[in-house]
Structure 1
Amino acid sequence: MTINSRHLVSGLLVLSFGLLGSLIPGGSIETRSFSHIDPLILGAFNTFLTFLEIVSLLIVYFIFKDLKWAFIVSGLCGISYFIVYALDLGTLFPVSPDPMPRALFVIEVLGMIVSVTLLFLSVRGAMRINTSGKEQVMVSKPYSKTFVYFALFLVVVGVGIITFATKSAMGS
């Protein structure tokens, strides 16, 4: 059995989800305080991060359907993960007066490596797909009920994560 780009990209999306998810403020790794940042800005940033996490999981479904647009979206996720880590490692945003814990640094460096690999393999996957009639058939089919329920579940959990992460980052 050979591992194809669907499996690699899906695995990297799940790995990226896990790496960033482990950095939720208030957890054991992200212990810095961001109480000096406006709560609206912090909430917006946490909303973006949670949206990125949700999209990363949901797009796996479409990656396994071998849809070109799904590989493009996964590439955009790779770019987004890279930017998030680069901003933090470059002390551009969010900046905390607390020092970066070593575990956080290691996870962010690993996250950057995974994000570049994800981008590369996503572009390669998108380029290999022939968009003849297959894509139109796949787009016109309705999503499974399980997928819809899973997506709704992720949105509800996401709202809870945004609230928890923002309050934790504010020191509340």
Structure 2
Amino acid sequence: MLLANLSNPRLGLQSIGILSLYDNNLSSYVIMAYESGYPEYGNILRFLKLNSDGNLRIYSSSKGSGTCTVRWTNVNNQCQVFGYCGHMGICSYNDTSPVCGCPSENFDPVDPNDSNKGCKLKREIRDCPGSVAMLQMDHTKFLTYPPENLNDVYFVGIFLSEVNK
């Protein structure tokens, strides 16, 4: 299947918890994912939600229970969700959950009350000697599209305009 040839792609969640891709150029739907409770029937309600953390999840709930359970997550490692920690943020894990932080002491959180909003430089690059700064970031994976190649070399420039003061 070549996804580039799709004319009007749309996702659909079947009542039994199967997430499918539909398009006029496909002879039938394509199963993209199914929730872990499939094929439970009966009093189970299911819904698909793109959460504020950028991750797509399938939930299920027994009718009348008032509780929802995550049954499928598109990206299991939350640190792999592009932009989860905002601009220039670094994602890592504590014992139980992802934590966002800044790459070094030269950065401050954009919002100290919400680490997911990213980081900003403490001072302008133009104030650095030669207007250049280097930062070694061990054990760091840059999320790119398409998936990064270990042989790639990335040169990243940070340009700050007068508007960002």
Structure with higher RCO (Cα < 8 A, 6+ apart): 1
TM over 0.5: no
TM-score by length of 2: 0.24
Q: Considering only CA atoms, is the larger Rg found in Structure 1 or Structure 2? A: 2
